[in-house]
Amino acid sequence: MQKILVIGGSRYFGKHLVTLLRDAGDEVTVLNRGSAAPPPGVGRLVADRDDAAQLLEALGARTFDTVVDQVCYTPLQAAVARRVFAGRTERYVMTSTMEVYDPAPPTPEARAYAEGKRRAEAVFRGGPEAGGPVAGRPETGGPETGGPAGGGPFYGGPAPFGFAAVRTAHVLGGGREEFTGRLAHYVGRIAAGTPVDVHAAAYATSFIHHREIARFLQWAAGQSFTGAVDAASHGALDVLGLCELVADRVGRPARHRVVEQGAPASPFSFDRSYALDNSRAAGLGFGFGRVADWLPGAITAELAEMAR
């Protein structure tokens, strides 16, 4: 049994993670701003993670075997956590994103999100806090694919705990739980006969089911590896393949409309390859599922939600 703190854990796959850890017999505590109560059998701490003094007061003398951080988005948040949890935990797992490799499409919002995650990882590692994209493309990245390029300042030397960054693929599934609406975009448009906006060439990207990423984070909490690891189901899929799967479930053909170069397209239509390499995680012992096995069920769940 481990003592595990989950920062966040109040929605989507974070909720699944918390119940998985609890049901496995771990002593689980959730820390958030009090937006939602945890499930039965799970402890609760209320604090603003950006406020170091408030965080220290909420934690008291508590220590943990592992902290799983679901909601770290900025280097400031990472700096506060690094300082507060030094000496309180042996392992720290941050939920990161494939966007750290260079977001696609590179909108200002996506770049800001990716830069925040990238610099947060760097603060935890004790590496350069500022700089450009992570070295290595996602399709060839994975194990220890560098840190931010450039000569940013170092943050306090090596990490005070074993640190791992889980760079997750696009998370899908769960019907109304999937709050981004990206899969619903396809289901709704194809069901209505509305064209889906796509690029002239179809490039593959990576996905993972919401319950699979929860299982992965549960597994990662109990491991000893450090550094970056990519989490993605087997079987990268391009936008046309996604549309075909949706069309098959909806029962009507998908229509496409090719956008001009540089124009916005539907989610998951990219102008370059944007797939992750999950080989490090697989080599460490995690068994990923296949997109083709779970995505049809996720589409059916979206259809059922639309029919409500």
pLDDT tens digits, 31-49: 998 878 888 999 999 999 9
Residues with Cβ within 8 Å of 61's Cβ and at least 6 positions away in sequence, in order, are none
Residue 277 token pair: 């390499």
CB 51 within 8 A of CB 24: no
List of E strands, 232-268: 256-258
- pLDDT value at position 149? 33
Cis peptide before 105 (omega within 30 of 0): yes
Helix 75-85 × helix 108-125 angle, to 10°: 20
Q: Which amino acid is at 95?
A: T
- The reported pTM is 0.90
Is a pLDDT exceeding 50 seen at residue 256? yes
Query: Counting runs of H as helices and runs of E as strands, what totals does the chain give?
Result: 9, 11
**Distance (Å, whole) CA 168 – CA 109:** 18
Region 75-88: mean pLDDT is 96
Q: What is the pLDDT confidence band of residue 231, given thresholds at 50, 70 and 90? A: very high
Residues in the chain: 308
Region 135-151: mean pLDDT is 38
Q: What percent of the chain has pLDDT over 90?
A: 75
